[in-house]
Structure 1
Amino acid sequence: MINLIQIAVGNLRNSVFIIGILFSSLVIGQRTVEAEIDTSFNYEFTPVNFEHNKVILVDMGHNTIYSSPSGRITSREMFRILDQDGFDVQFTQSQLDSAYLQSVRPDLLLLHGMPNDAIKLANDERTEYLYISPLRTEEVESIAKYVFNGGGLLVFLSHFPGGSGALPLMEAFGVKFRDGYSNQVDYHTSDGGICGHFLMDEKNRMLNKRHPVFTSSLDSTTLPKKVRFYCGAAVFRNPADVILPFPQGTINSTPTDGIDFIEETSSSYAGMIGFDYGKGRVVVCTDQGIFRSLDLLIKGERVAVTIHDPKADNAGLLINVIRWLTKLQ
């Protein structure tokens, strides 16, 4: 959903970080908007009552949102929750090959927003761009084997080319990825735009409480009643994998070189899926901002993106996803 460009000015204590953000969820196309870091929201929950020493390894080496220091600040509440729940969060810029993963032995690998690398090709007649994944083939194989042998993997995807660099990894796990803009106008909660803004719950069948992420919960008070989801792409695999299903008849709009879009319609698209893979577990989410702490300033209004949205329980979703992936539940 969001690709961080820069921090213009900042004072975290006073919550006045002004950020240039490439934002594409309220309009057709992309534009820069301002945002502030939310520092007031503090999710109250009961941490696990035992010491578990689980390690979460966060990738910084493949141009993810954490490759910039400002990226970590935009997810400050997510990391605070993980710390309070006893997780050891470590950041890495290393290649994710087998030797490195075996040396660190993380319980969970987090890949959050991975753009494609763009290589400019030019001759006397024209210029083209070659888009390739920053993940090497060896890394894709190593990550898949790491999960198969018991590791956890949490991947956040987004639109091409800013959030689709993990496509080879998705293909390795049999996940089908549509990296356009997903919307269903009957459930859209904002005015205009081609990218869906959804408030998901059981009533509108966009929150699957039968998934093991929820049925295995250690604390029923953390189970989300509603989830806010802004401007995602689409994934699908097996019906049993779906955590946050998109509505029937959802349209995925993929931009072309011109102003038109290629549209595909499906009743099987999802914004979040989770599944077992060998001895390990995988969760894939197509909203990069679902657990971030930003207030976007749009048309004079402040839009909470997204963990602190007062109408939703995204923090509870985070806790249950992380505990399930690390096999605490």
Structure 2
Amino acid sequence: MFGKVLRSGVVAAACCTPAIAQQLPERDYRPPIASPAYAAGRGPSVCVDEAHHNFHTLDGRYWSFGELLRRDGYAVRPLRGAFTRASLAPCAIVVIANAQPSAAEWDDYPYPTPSAFAAAEIRATRRWVREGGSLWLIADHMPLAGAAAGLAAAFGVKFNDGFAMPGFDADPARRARIFQQPGLFRVDAGSLTRHAAVRGRDESESVAQVRSFTGQAFQAPAEAEPLLILPQGYVSLMPKKAWRFDADTARVPVAGWLQGAVMRVGKGRAAFFGEAAMFTTQVQGAERRPMGMNAPGAERNYQFTLNLAHWLSGLLDPATHSSKPPR
């Protein structure tokens, strides 16, 4: 995700385009689903978090995400209350996309970024997963990675509150060109692993390439199963304010770090991703540039999204999934 509008009137994007360049949902995207996983509305309950000032919601920028899963048979609904044992109980899968600590402008956030989740919510979520729930935690670049870092850490995952970029240059013009390079993960390059969530249920569901849109880099424990591995040359830029880069911006080499991984946790499962636009469709700017599943190079992102839902609901690798029935 390239960023949101700042109070200064410019978009927090690599080249500081006008405010009209903010991201808007693209609602006409309808890719083919040859074999829906479930009868309409009869699949597992997918609860999408809308209780934590989320940048992506079902009636907004995650419209296409929700519609895609509904067309695959899942029962998709918003989750608008704090995370507790009771609020999580009806959900088979909980999706958290870019939770934020408040509705404040990113420029007004303190550094480091505060958690979007209370300690009790983190404990409740961890317990719910261990008892058989499936968590899909998506947190983009700074400050969104920092806002979800506490929840990720409960599973041994270390979110980096920075910007994963294919390189860096002190010169602003050259830096802008680097930032515009698409983030591509490919099986033939080894950056997209041959996991069940990449292979799908059969050859028609296999994915050879996934595209992401900036995002963050993270590290995961040994028991995690990597999906998206950042290629050589990638760095994490770590400014004190989002999208405020200069020649002295701190940076960390992150080649070999992850932007996507899954793991089994007790009786449940969890997926962690460092970029959100890859799972939806958006347009940006007056020229309505596609950003997400509708963008060039992201033609199979929708199938990757479905495959991940299938893995989280136990359709893929079912032998090691909880025996807990769909809710």
Q: Could you tell me the TM-score, scaled by structure 2's length?
A: 0.80
Amino acid at match of 2:54: T
Give distance in 2, aligned partners of 1:199 and 1:151.
30
Which residue of structure 2 lines up, in the alignment, with residue 306 of structure 1? Answer: 292
Q: How does 1:1-329 map to 2 (within 5 A)?
A: 1-2=1-2, 22-24=11-13, 26-27=14-15, 32=19, 33-35=21-23, 37-48=25-36, 50-51=38-39, 53-66=43-56, 72-102=59-89, 104=90, 106-117=91-102, 129=110, 131-185=113-167, 192-194=177-179, 197-209=182-194, 211-215=195-199, 217-238=200-221, 241-256=225-240, 259=246, 260-297=248-285, 302-312=288-298, 313-329=300-316
Which residue of structure 1 lines up, in the alignment, with residue 324 of structure 2? Answer: none
How far the C-alpha of 1:272 sits from its partner, in A, is: 0.8
Q: 1:30 to 1:107 in 2, by over 3 A?
A: farther
Amino acid at match of 2:141: H
Amino acid at match of 2:61: T
Q: 1:264 to 1:31 in 2, by over 3 A?
A: farther
What SS class does the counterpart of residue 114 from structure 1 fall into? coil
Cα RMSD for the two superposed structures: 3.1
Give distance in 1, aligned partners of 2:165 and 2:109.
29
How many residue pairs get matched?
Answer: 296
Amino acid at match of 2:292: T
Give distance in 2, aligned partners of 1:244 and 1:161.
21
What SS class does the counterpart of residue 110 from structure 2 fall into? strand
Q: 1:304 to 1:96 in 2, by over 3 A?
A: same
How far the C-alpha of 1:23 sits from its partner, in A, is: 4.1
Give distance in 2, aligned partners of 1:205 and 1:128.
37
> What runs of 5+ residues in structure 1 fail to find an aligned partner?
7-19, 121-126
Which residue of structure 2 lines up, in the alignment, with residue 124 of structure 1? Answer: none
- Aligned partners of 1:236 and 1:268 also within 8 Å: no
Amino acid at match of 1:152: S
> What runs of 5+ residues in structure 2 fail to find an aligned partner?
169-174, 317-327
Give distance in 1, aligned partners of 2:53 and 2:3.
11
What SS class does the counterpart of residue 167 from structure 1 fall into? helix
Give distance in 2, aligned partners of 1:219 and 1:314.
16
Give distance in 1, aligned partners of 2:10 and 2:155.
31
Instruction: Identify the structure with the greater strand proportion.
Output: 1
Q: Which moved more, 1:248-257 or 1:83-92?
A: 248-257
- Aligned partners of 1:296 and 1:302 also within 8 Å: yes
